[in-house]
Amino acid sequence: MLAFSYVVAPHAETALSLVCGGSNATFIAGGTDILQLLQEGVIAPPSLIDINALPFSGVQTEQGEARIGALTRLSDVADDPGIRQRFPLLVQALQETASPQVRNMATVGGNLLQRTRCLYFRDATVPCNKRQPGSGCPAWDGLNRINAIFGGSDRCIAANPGDMAVALLALDADLLVQNVEGERRMRLADLYRMPDENPQHETTLASGELITAVLLPSNEAAGHSYYLKVRDRASFEWALVSVAAALEMDGTRVHRARIVAGGVGTKPWRLMRVEEALQGRPLTPDLARQAGNRAGDGAAPRAGNAFKVPMLQRAVERALLTAGGIA
Amino acid sequence: MNSVVGQPISRVDGPAKVTGHAIYAAEFNLRNMVHAALVHSTIAHGRIDQLDTRDAEQEPGVLAVISHLNAERLPYEPLEKRPPVDPKAGEQLHVFQGPEILFVGQPIAVVIAETVEQARTAAALVQVAYHEQVATTEVRHDRAQPPTEASSKAGRGGGSRGDAEKAFAKAPVKVDMWCSHDREHHNAVEPHATIAEWFGDHLTLYDKSQWVDNVRSEIAHVFGMPAENIRVVSPFVGGAFGSALRTWPHVTIAALAARQVGRAVRLELTRRELYVSVGYRPRTEQHMQLGAEADGRLVAIIQDAVAPTSVYEEYAERTADPVLRTYSCPNVQARYRLAPVNANTPCPMRAPGIATGVMALEIAMDELADGLGMDPIELRLRNYAENDEAKGVPWSSKALRECYQTAADRFLWSRRSAPPRSMRNGRLLIGYGMATAFYPAERAPASVQAILYANDTAVVRTASSDMGPGTYTAMTQLAADTLGLPIERVHFELGDTEMPKAPVHGGSMTLASVGTAVVDACKALMANLPAGEMAEGHGARLRRAGLESLTATGHSEPGDEANKYSSAGFGAVFAEVWVDPDFGTVRVPRIVGAYDVGRVINPKIARSQCLGGMVGGIGMALMEQAEWDARLGRVMNANLAEYLVPVNADVTDLDVTFVRSSDEIFNPLGAKGLAEIALCGVAPAIANAVYHATGKRVRHLPIMPEKLLVD
Ligand SMILES: Cc1cc2nc3c(=O)[nH]c(=O)nc-3n(C[C@H](O)[C@H](O)[C@H](O)COP(=O)(O)OP(=O)(O)OC[C@H]3O[C@@H](n4cnc5c(N)ncnc54)[C@H](O)[C@@H]3O)c2cc1C
């Protein structure tokens, strides 16, 4: 770990000006991920800008679009009555995230930007294209059971580890982002980049941009949604495979489905083939199975993570059955 | 007064621990103390070509950067007799004595600075250039060799009786399979740490240790100084599981650095550093062959176990023991071979060798029962060993039949439907499995001092340790009863080389060894107590005799019984599993264990010990696994986020019973020792339950979901 300076930003303008201008300064929110990265020497920013004092926490769910401040703690989001009522899918995803202790510290913005758990990224003494561009990807032919089966390239197959983003994508969330010029709104779906040639660039945020809020449109899926997470131990672990299923039903028919998978993609992975298979059809156990079987379409597993394909297929099936109330 | 031995007393050190008054090695706050951070090799084999410390030395607060370039030459005098915790062959790692690199993570330099942060920052600035050589990073069976005679003599080799090959060839029923478990790390909550301080030619070490006397003796040899000049202090240990048995290189580094900078030096290892600094349970592959008659009687057991050791030491363990001693069988052949790899040396971890030997044997026995269509308990009863057939002597006590019976009853084993994959709860597959637990009981010489004061309090002390099983508590109970004092009036002290010598706090020997000496010392005290009135208290008698205090010493050591008998703890472990066939995930809703461990001094902490063993067994069966990348020669998940241990949600209903037992042949207390046996048998019981649930035999632990999903 290298020495760094630490500044508590009193307002957003200070935070943004400190981080912009190519200084490589980095924001710290709950610190639950960035401290690990600092301690292990995975990153070594010259300064940390503490954004916890900025006025971006709190949840508004009264009507229409719901708004979750980026500095809201995960536990506060999960406990919010409005969120519980309107977005149970998000609550389930949060309750399956990390542990109560971590959720009490971790923020929404930080959670969206947590870094991959790829074993090679997290050990600063080995090659990793994401950490050290051009150094190689030992995961490609190495220990890759937790890595991605979708969206990888031979440069990088690091999985996006988050749970919340998977649920938020199924809920079609937007983000509010601030930079020195002002505020912009973007789709969460556009936040993450594929690794392609440049796995070091993980998001479309410009350096120094601050996420200030997550916006959730109203939807009709609250009664028919489910977040399913499969992992090696019963709690306190990232997903091997997770599925967020949000169904808007028209009687027994699926009117609109958004199905997103976690733990399997280099970004939260929308399963379009599954959604297509469901569209307009009556939800039955047979349909759930057929749709689930489409979940692996396009997957490019490596030796250590091929099991994720059948696991994902069955996870989608199970999530659909549960979301549809026919389990 | 009522006896406290046998009562479920809460830990006497509990309040100190939960209020933060218990001081652990890293927490001694010495005046003038400075901090150390290590630099590690990033190659597995070769030499250091260049080591550039200039940038590091320029950092604020840095006092010194010590490496092979400027470290004092240490004599590393050979020990006359190696302690039981050290490998029997090879040479411990010599720190900073030359440019040779033998494994990734070998310490190659240490930075000393005013603060930990300064030291770590500077350590990251040390530049190293290597001359790399080809490294061996995988166990090659064709290169594996039997351990040296020194290891074999210490019971860490193979063994045989009869003609197992021939009997196996002729056996009408056979099991023939390979099984293995992955490398495991102790991962105790407390990281290893040493603080070293010199006073002229005297050295004080505050260390995380299961055996302070051994730290003293080894450091004396490393530095070529009299042992009397060294004091080692270790009053509390935050879990160890064997990782603090040996005196590791970082202890030498702290002492060396403290001498070189003339300040007290504190060196606390990070979690990632623990994976290369203090050993681990080696991955062991075992070829098991069982031959039996049609009625289930074993006629042959053959084991061929292969494990890694380092290139500089021969670490061997007792993997053959369970195969040789658990069941009655005329023909047994246990082979054990070691293959050196460029890694740090493995070390004992909870029931070293035994837990893994039991694992292989008990999975094989389950396969045999399955092949015979026989109940797994019945198969074990048919092969019940009335004697220790390896040594040809009777057991000093054995109540294993009662263990099977008790555990089976409490588990409701009779509800098991025998065919695999025949029990369900909705979509979940249910499985019941069982295994025998076995752990040898031993003891070693121990000395204790007991002091009675005129204010009716007593202090009892010995250089033992309490890494968590409750030494403080059990010894206090024994002393209180023997002295006839209430428990609050007895203070038991340990973990300091100024105290009388104690054996290593390992091998489940502490109660039988130290406890016996505690009773001996307290009896001696009572015998010397000045005469007085019947009702008169001890203190009053001392005061009347004009004494402020009275001191006595006690001693214990194994006697002839060790030649005439074999002693061991026994148990039966039953597990239920729920397997989700869609995902391959296994959960363990309940485990039932019944144990014969001799007399139980404190049923509460004894039960805790068994609960801990069951939790460890869940880890061993289902998730604990150091992920080794042979190309890079290192463990890639060296942290507690990716190296999985069970969390609360993985642990549900654990049931522990001790069957009536007391072994006064083994020692006067009747206690056989209770620690490592708690781990033995748990993982195979779970693995056998997984087979019963799914019909799929997973022989390579841990049983991760993919092993049940993909063929
Ligand atoms: C043991 C453990 C288990 C875990 N298990 C899970 C799990 O099961 N599922 C899961 O999803 N997560 C899990 N996590 C991850 C955890 O949820 C994240 O670490 C946490 O959400 C990050 O939030 P934070 O506020 O602490 O972020 P920080 O660590 O403070 O920051 C993370 C990153 O986000 C950036 N950042 C933070 N806020 C903003 C902002 N508003 N705008 C722009 N950039 C910002 C920081 O610069 C940094 O790069 C686990 C973590 C631990 C330690």
Going by CA atoms, what residue is nearest to atom 9 of ligand 1?
Answer: A97
Hunting for tokens 């499995």 — which residue is that?
Answer: B433
Specify the length of chain B in residues. 711
**Which of A146, A229, A289, A311 to mutate against chain B (most B CBs within 10 Å)?**
A311
Return d(Cα B68, Cα B51) in angstroms, integer.
Answer: 9
A125 assigned to some structural domain? no
Tokens linked to B52:
């550039």
- Residue A288 falls inside a structural domain: yes
SS3 state at B47: strand
Question: Could you say which residues from 128 to 157 on chain A have a Cβ atom under 8 Å away from some Cβ of chain B?
Answer: 138, 142-143, 145-146
Query: What is the distance between the alpha carbons of residues B263 and B35, in angstroms, rounded to a whole number?
Result: 10
Which atom of ligand 1 lies nearest, measured to the CA of A163? 11
Task: Check CB contact of A226 with chain B, cutoff 8 Å.
Answer: no
User: CA-CA distances (angstroms) from residue B237 to A11, B47, B679?
Assistant: 46, 36, 20
Pocket probe mutation, ligand 1, options A8, A33, A40, A108, max atoms within 8 Å of Cβ? A33
- The stretch B624-649 carries a mean pLDDT of 97
Q: What is the pLDDT of residue B711?
A: 60
DSSP B179-200: EEE--B----SSPPEEEEEEET
**Atom 34 in ligand 1: which residue has the minimum CA distance?**
A110
Residue A54 included in any domain: no
Measured from the Cα of A56, ligand 1's closest atom is 41
The verdict on the CB of residue A33 being under 6 Å from ligand 1 is yes
**Which residues contact residue B81 at a Cβ distance below 8 angstroms, ignoring those fewer than 6 apart?**
none
User: Domains in chain A: how many in total?
Assistant: 1
Alpha helices in B445-487 (DSSP H): 471-483
Question: Does ligand 1 come within 6 angstroms of the Cβ of A122?
Answer: no
For residue B437, what is the enclosing H or E element? strand B428-440
pLDDT above 70: residue B1: no
Q: Nearest CA to CA, how far is A26 from chain B (Å)?
A: 18
Taking the alpha carbons of B657, B662, B667, B669 in that order, is the dihedral positive or negative? positive
Per-residue pLDDT 10s for chain A (327 aa) are 778 999 999 888 887 877 766 667 899 999 999 999 999 999 999 999 999 999 999 999 988 999 999 999 999 999 999 999 999 999 999 999 999 999 999 999 999 999 999 999 999 999 999 999 999 999 999 999 999 999 999 999 999 999 999 999 999 999 999 998 999 999 999 999 999 999 999 999 998 899 999 999 999 989 999 999 999 999 999 999 999 999 999 999 999 999 999 999 999 999 999 999 999 999 999 999 999 999 999 999 999 999 999 999 999 999 999 999 998
Distance from C-alpha of B676 to C-alpha of B658, rounded to nearest angstrom: 15
Q: Whose CA is nearest to atom 35 of ligand 1?
A: A110
Q: Work out the burial of residue B394: count CB atoms within 10 Å of its CB; fewer than 13 is exposed, 13-18 middle, 19 or more buried.
A: middle
Are B428 and A318 in contact by the 8 Å Cβ rule? The answer is no
Give the separation between CA B83 and CA B212, rounded to whole angstroms: 12
Structure token pair of residue B458 = 């007593």
Reference B352, options B533, B151, B217, B499; nearest CA is: B151
- Answer for the pair A33, A43: CB distance below 8 angstroms, yes or no: no
Of all protein residues, whose CA lies closest to atom 1 belonging to ligand 1? B641
Position in ligand 1 atom list of the atom nearest CA A70: 41
From atom 43 of ligand 1, which residue's Cα is the shortest distance away? Answer: A210
Ligand 1 binding pocket mutation candidate from A105, A113, A200 (most atoms within 8 A of CB): A113
Q: Is omega for the bond preceding B84 within 30 degrees of 0, making it cis?
A: no
Q: Is the CB of A93 under 6 A from ligand 1?
A: no
Stretch B562-573: mean pLDDT, rounded?
97
- Which of A39, A119, A233 lies nearest to residue B647, judging by beta carbons? A233
Mean pLDDT for the stretch of residues B633-656: 97
Tell me if B621 sits within 8 A of B661, measured CB to CB.
no
DSSP labels, B382-435: HTB-SEETTTTEEBS---HHHHHHHHHHHHTGGG--SSTT-EEETTEEEEEEEE
Contacts of A118 in chain B (CB under 8 A): none
Q: Model confidence over B179-203: pLDDT tens digits?
A: 999 999 999 999 999 999 999 999 9
Query: Can you give the CATH number for the domain in which A301 is found?
Result: 3.30.390.50
* Contacts (Cβ under 8 Å, ≥6 apart) of A309: A149, A296, A299, A301
- Cβ <8 Å between A138 and B637: no
State mean pLDDT over B249-265: 98
Phi and psi for B97 in degrees, rounded to 5? -105, -5
What pLDDT is attached to residue B505? 95
For residues B355 and B348, give the distance between their C-alpha atoms in angstroms, rounded to a whole number.
11
Considering chain B, what is the average pLDDT of its residues? Answer: 97
- Is the pLDDT at B126 greater than 80? The verdict is yes
CA A31 to centroid of ligand 1, rounded, Å: 7
From chain A residues 84-123, the ones with a CB under 8 A of any chain B CB are 99, 117, 119-120, 122-123
Query: Which residue's CA is minimally distant from atom 18 of ligand 1?
Result: A111
Contact yes or no for B706 and A307 at CB 8 A: yes
Residue B662 φ then ψ, to 5°? -155, 130
Q: Sort residue B185 into left (φ over 0), alpha (ψ -120 to 50) or beta.
A: beta
Q: Does B584 touch chain A (CB under 8 A)?
A: yes
Closest CA to A116 of A249, A287, A11, A264: A264
How many CB atoms within 10 Å of residue A322?
Answer: 18
Let me know if residue A132 belongs to a domain. no
Distances (CA, A) of A192 to A263, A266, B353: 14, 9, 48
Domains delineated in chain B: 25-134+189-239+244-277 (3.30.365.10), 142-184+280-441+564-709 (3.30.365.10), 444-557 (3.30.365.10)
Q: Which of B582, B649, B706 is facing A234, going by the closest CB pair? A: B649
Quickly list DSSP for B639-702. STTTS----GGG--EEEEEE-S---TTT-TT-B---SGGGTTTHHHHHHHHHHHHHS----EES
Do residues B12 and B476 touch, judged by C-beta distance below 8 A? yes
Q: Could you report the per-residue pLDDT of B30-67, keeping only the tens digit for each?
A: 999 999 999 999 999 999 999 999 999 999 999 999 99
Residues for chain A: how many in total?
A: 327
In the predicted model, what is the mean pLDDT of residues B149-170?
96
**Minimal Cα–Cα distance from B397 to chain A, Å?**
39
- The shares of helix, strand and coil residues in chain A, as percent rounded to the nearest 5, are 30, 20, 45
Distance from CA of B393 to the nearest CA of A (A): 44
The DSSP symbol for B5 reads T
Q: Give the tokens for residue B512.
A: 């039988």
In the numeric block, the tokens 């292969």 are attached to: B306
Residue B307 pLDDT > 80, yes or no?
A: yes
Q: What is the pLDDT of residues B417-474, one digit of tens each?
A: 999 999 999 999 999 999 999 999 999 999 999 999 999 999 999 999 999 999 999 9
Question: How many Å lie between the centroid of ligand 1 and the Cα of residue B229?
Answer: 50
Q: Which residue of B has its CA nearest to A126?
A: B632
Name the residue in chain B with its Cα closest to that of A228.
B583
A82 has a chain B CB within 8 A of its CB:
no
pLDDT at B538: 94
What pLDDT, on the 0 to 100 scale, is given for residue A14? 80
Q: Cα B318 to the chain's mean position, in Å? A: 13
Average pLDDT over residues B292-300: 98
- Is residue A193, in this structure, part of any structural domain at all? no
pLDDT of residue A22: 63
The radius of gyration computed from the CA coordinates of chain B, to the nearest angstrom, equals: 26
Q: Does B653 touch chain A (CB under 8 A)?
A: no
Q: Give the ligand 1 atom nearest the CA of A205.
A: 43
CB B207 within 8 A of CB B322: no
Q: Which of A11, A43, A102 to mutate to test the pocket of ligand 1 (most atoms within 8 A of CB)?
A: A102
A29 lines ligand 1 (CB under 6 A): yes
DSSP label at residue A158: P
Nearest chain B residue (CA) to A304: B706
Q: Which residue of B has its CA nearest to A121?
A: B636
What is the torsion angle, in degrees rounded to the nearest 10, for the CA atoms of residue A81, residue A187, residue A93 and residue B187? -130
| Residues of chain A neighbouring B38 (CB-CB closer than 8 A) | none
In DSSP terms, which residues pair with A159 in a beta bridge? Answer: none
* Cα of A177 to nearest chain B Cα, Å: 30
The reply to whether residue B583 touches residue A311, judged by beta carbons under 8 angstroms, is: yes
Please tell me the predicted confidence (pLDDT) of residue B40.
Answer: 98
Nearest CA in chain B to A139: B629
Q: Residue A137 and residue A83: Cα distance in Å, rounded?
A: 40
Which chain A residues have a beta carbon less than 8 Å from that of B115?
A: none
Q: How many CA atoms lie within 13 A of A171 on its CB side?
A: 33
What is the layout of strands, in order, in the sheet containing A26-28? A5-8, A47-50, A26-28
In the set B184, B197, B317, B676, the catalytic residue is: B676
Cβ of A34 less than 6 Å from ligand 1: yes
Number of H helices, E strands in chain A: 12, 12
Task: Judge contact between A227 and A93, C-beta under 8 A.
Answer: yes
Q: Is the CB of A263 under 6 A from ligand 1?
A: no
What values do phi and psi take at A278, rounded to 5? -90, -30
In order, the DSSP letters of A56-80 are ---EE-SSSSEEEETT-BHHHHHH-
Enter the DSSP assignment of B74: P
Q: Note whether A142 and A301 are within 8 A (CB).
A: no
Report pLDDT digits (tens) over B527-540. 999 988 878 899 99
Q: Where are the alpha helices (DSSP H) in chain A?
A: 12-19, 34-39, 74-79, 81-86, 88-95, 100-105, 108-112, 119-122, 164-170, 272-278, 285-293, 308-323
Alpha carbons A36 and A40: distance in angstroms, whole number? 6
**Closest approach of B379 to chain A, Cα-based (Å):** 33
CB A214 within 8 A of CB A173: yes
* Cβ contact B650–A3 (<8 Å): no
Known catalytic residue at B676 = yes
Question: Exposed e or buried b for every residue in B139-173, given b needs 16+ CB within 10 A?
Answer: beeeebeebbebbbebbbbbbbbbebeebbeebeb
Among the atoms of ligand 1, which is closest to the Cα of residue A209?
A: 43
Phi/psi-derived region of residue B516, left when phi > 0, alpha when psi is between -120 and 50, beta in every other case:
alpha
Nearest CA in chain A to B588: A234
Percentages of chain B per state (helix, strand, coil), in multiples of 5: 30, 30, 45
CB-closest option in B118, B121, B644 to A232: B644
On whether the pTM is more than 0.90, the answer is yes
For tokens 């510290």, name the residue: A105
HSE toward the beta carbon, residue A320, CA cutoff 13 A: 36
Full domain range(s) for residue A256? 225-323
* Contact B120/A at CB under 8 A: yes
Residue B294 has pLDDT above 80, yes or no: yes
